[in-house]
């Protein structure tokens, strides 16, 4: 459903996202930061999310494990047990104290995980020592490596393709995680169906080689996502559920032969669900194709910007509901996208890492702190995490070049 550009709309205009009234359109994108020691949100996470909270602002947490075997990074938070829920309550309370709306991103990495660490002497990411699960038994190959707990990088192992009979149990993990998130006080959840992780491994025909009802046709490949969305929406309500997809992104070798058609098929399924419910999802969150070039480094060859923009517009016009864009947005690109109606909201990632007051900086067009990539995935609770200065505190030292993400 195409939307007309809102007269005079900017990144700083208010927006009604379903039941939530937002005061501006600058969204904190979900980003892995590896500070939740042993899967438990620490006080540092309370400070981190509080710093980035604004009255009427919208935050999406880092990817949060839906089960003990869903991780693929060290020290990422979970939402599958009581201790994690209690720890998340403090984060949510801090964000709410600033007037922010906060969703928890539900995450299962699928084959992007590992079994052993240190000559197979120690289990890692898979507590039972089993192979990571996926739609396939094909491993991630090529240039991709997994980050291990000691900071080293390792090759991805061979995954295990889920049996058809096992899939409902994984769907249940998402459903229970959503209920747990609401128990923790979150305003809603985002289903991570993007960037080469488990749901994307079912969606993309470059990975999914199944011959059962979850493989083959686009409709079959969408089935797992649809089942997760149905289950979660039934548990907490559609208006508390966002969905993130990336049909055109090749992160972790998640390629598809026809990204445009895949994106439209996903949108058709979501629109149909909304029609059946008589209620809309909170939003659809789509990653720009240019993330392919800039996802891992600051350099890379971009595709045609006009082709990328038209692809996003095609999906934007097709979806009946709030649309969020992410990936590669500068202030100018975000302002333009909102002004012409290409998106309702813009989520920012790495700029938000180094600029806790990003919305205010963008609003006054102030200089941005440069982020320090070396601290993206460390466990230091302060350095490169909560020590980036606000606008009135001066500049951070020893920065890497600015990223477009």
Instruction: Give the 3-state secondary structure of residue 38.
Output: helix
Q: How far is CA 164 from CA 136, 169, 214, 224, in A?
A: 12, 10, 8, 11
In this structure, the chain runs to a length of 405
Residue 390 DSSP SS3: coil
Sign of the dihedral defined by the CA atoms of residues 23, 191, 61, 246, in that order: negative
Strands 160-161 and 188-193: unpaired
**DSSP state letters, 157-208:** ---EEPPGGGHHHHHHHHHHHHHHHHHTT-SEEEEEE-TTSHHHHHH-TTT-
Active site residue 375: no
What is the C-alpha to C-alpha distance for residues 177 and 174, in angstroms, rounded to an integer?
A: 5
DSSP 75: T
Categorise residue 327: left if φ over 0, alpha if ψ from -120 to 50, beta otherwise: left
Spell out the alpha helix ranges (H) of 52-113: 82-97
Q: At what angle do helices 259-277 and 223-236 cross, to 10 degrees?
A: 30
For 61, the enclosing helix (H) or strand (E) is strand 58-65
DSSP state for residue 391 in the 8-state scheme: G
Number of alpha carbons in the 13 Å side-chain half-sphere of residue 34: 17
Q: Which helix (H) or strand (E) holds 316?
A: helix 305-318
Q: Which of 80, 156, 197, 385 is catalytic?
A: 197
CA R_g for the chain: 20
Residue from 27, 21, 130, 18 nearest 359 by CA: 27
With 0-12 / 13-18 / 19 or more C-beta atoms within 10 angstroms meaning exposed / middle / buried, residue 88 is: buried
How far does Cα 242 stand from its chain's mean position?
Answer: 10
| Residue 63, strand partner residues | 105
List the catalytic residues. Answer: 197
């Amino acid at each position: 459903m195409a939307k007309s550009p809102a007269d005079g709309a900017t990144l700083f205009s208010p927006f009604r996202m379903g039941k939530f009234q937002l005061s501006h359109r600058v969204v904190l994108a979900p980003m892995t930061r590896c500070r939740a020691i042993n899967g438990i949100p620490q006080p540092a996470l309370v400070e981190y999310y509080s710093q980035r909270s604004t009255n009427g602002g919208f935050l999406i947490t880092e990817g949060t494990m839906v089960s003990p075997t869903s991780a693929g990074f060290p020290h990422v938070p979970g939402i599958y047990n009581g201790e994690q829920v209690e720890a998340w309550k403090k984060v949510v309370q801090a964000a709410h104290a600033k007037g922010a709306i906060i969703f928890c991103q539900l995450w299962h990495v699928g084959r992007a995980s590992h079994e052993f660490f240190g000559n197979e002497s120690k289990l890692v990411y898979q507590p039972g020592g089993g192979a990571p699960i996926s739609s396939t038994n094909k491993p991630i190959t090529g240039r991709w490596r997994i980050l291990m707990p000691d900071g080293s990088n390792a090759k991805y192992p061979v995954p295990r393709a889920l049996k058809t009979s096992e899939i409902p149990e994984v769907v249940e993990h998402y459903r229970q995680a959503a209920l747990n998130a609401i128990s923790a006080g979150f305003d809603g959840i985002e289903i991570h169906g993007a960037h080469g992780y488990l749901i994307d491994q079912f969606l993309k025909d470059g990975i999914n080689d199944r011959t059962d009802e979850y493989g083959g046709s686009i409709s079959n490949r969408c089935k797992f996502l649809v089942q997760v969305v149905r289950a979660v929406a039934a548990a907490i309500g559609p208006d508390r559920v966002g969905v993130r997809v990336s049909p055109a992104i090749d992160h972790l070798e998640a390629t598809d032969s026809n990204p445009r058609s895949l994106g439209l098929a996903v949108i058709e399924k979501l629109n149909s669900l909304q029609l059946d419910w008589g209620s809309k999802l909170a939003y659809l969150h789509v990653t720009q194709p240019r993330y392919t070039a800039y996802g891992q480094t600051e350099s890379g060859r971009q595709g045609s910007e006009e082709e990328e923009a038209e692809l996003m517009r095609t999906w934007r016009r097709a979806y009946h509901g709030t649309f969020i864009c992410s990936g590669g947005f500068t202030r100018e690109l975000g302002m333009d996208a909102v002004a012409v109606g290409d998106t309702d909201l813009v989520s920012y990632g790495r700029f938000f890492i180094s600029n806790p007051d990003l919305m205010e900086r963008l609003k006054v067009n102030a200089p941005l702190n440069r982020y320090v990539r070396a601290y993206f995935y460390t466990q230091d609770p302060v350095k490169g995490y909560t020590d980036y200065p606000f606008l009135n505190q001066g500049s951070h030292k020893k920065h890497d070049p600015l990223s477009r993400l």
